[in-house]
Structure 1
Amino acid sequence: MLPTGPTCRSGSGRRTRTSSNASRGPSDLRNDDVPVRADPGGGRLVAGQRLSSTPRGARLARRLAVAQLDAWGYAHDSETTEAVALVVAELAANAVTHGRVPGRDFELRLARDADGIRIEVSDTRSECQPPGPGNVTPPSRLAESGRGLLLVDAVARCWEVVDREPPPGKTVRALVAVPASFENVFDPAPNIHSRA
């Protein structure tokens, strides 16, 4: 779980690696419900989906994230949507490329609150851990892969790798900041038929 704090550290005692690109970190993204719903106590909206650990599943994760942000009122061409789409695409691609276990799915979870958009991608492979924030090394200039987590590190306010709950596996979590004009908007579907 990601408590609030400047370094996004986990207070649960589990192995965790974090990176912070701002003074505030994400709070708890975990939620036991998969469908989109409002969090009754925190004014948070949460969405989640299990997807097949295939390239098609990774593409679908990105498309679902963009559709969810649209439902939350973010334009398809907004900086927030583009940043979330990039982070989801990279984390989902890593989950199906490096975290794939035959017959097991990966999970995408999104949450929206005043801090921004929280992204969580979980897979069931424990032995293949990505380097944590601050430990990602750039690939050689001619390498065809190896830039995904560098992009996540550049776009996300902070991110971390933690053990998946319940085991086995791992979860990569990231927080994408939202521009000030969207910080306190919590209406999931504004009424387009209302008159001023």
Structure 2
Amino acid sequence: MKYGYLFYTILGYLTGSMLFGRIVPLVLKGVDVEKDSTDGNPGTFNAFACGGAFCGVLVLLLDLFKGAFPVWLCGERLGMDAWGFAFVMAAPVLGHAYSFFQKGHGGKAIAVTFGVLIGLLPVWKPLAFLIFWYLLFVAVVPMRSNTRKSIYAFLAFTLTCLGFIRQKSILAGCLLISVIVIHKHCLKAKAAYRESGEWRLE
């Protein structure tokens, strides 16, 4: 059974590595978001901005699916209780952030994270926590920096999971996801510092 979790971890990493935020606008509109967007991030927001509404919605759905599918499939076939399931949860996020097909380059992994948490349903608390914190920091707390919003949302998500998630494998998966996403956003801030000489979270 442990090899089963390894299989779904590899599957999740490879599906996560498919950067639809770059592929879809390039195929449908001939637009390379890594070159034509302000931050070069191959994600849902830039798919909307560079490719239009149809591209953006399609990318969002594909990113959600690539996160949800391997997690849901593994949960159905092997269950969610083993420690190996934590790595299955983290794998699509890791693949999106550090894509195998893009030599380690990737996106910020927000949409795919929501997809992973959708794949946990009917285990609903992790998804509800992340939705709550994202809505709070995006819609309520006045903050201009998108990077800062994401970092704060995932820090709050981590603390909430530590307090309320009792299933250890799912808790471990949520913590791994938070580490990946926060690390990716900090790298973005570090890159901005190299360019401007000013440390800022934009």
| TM-score, scaled to structure 1 | 0.28
| TM-score, scaled to structure 2 | 0.28
Q: Could you say which structure has the higher strand fraction? A: 1
Q: Could you say which structure has the higher helix fraction? A: 2
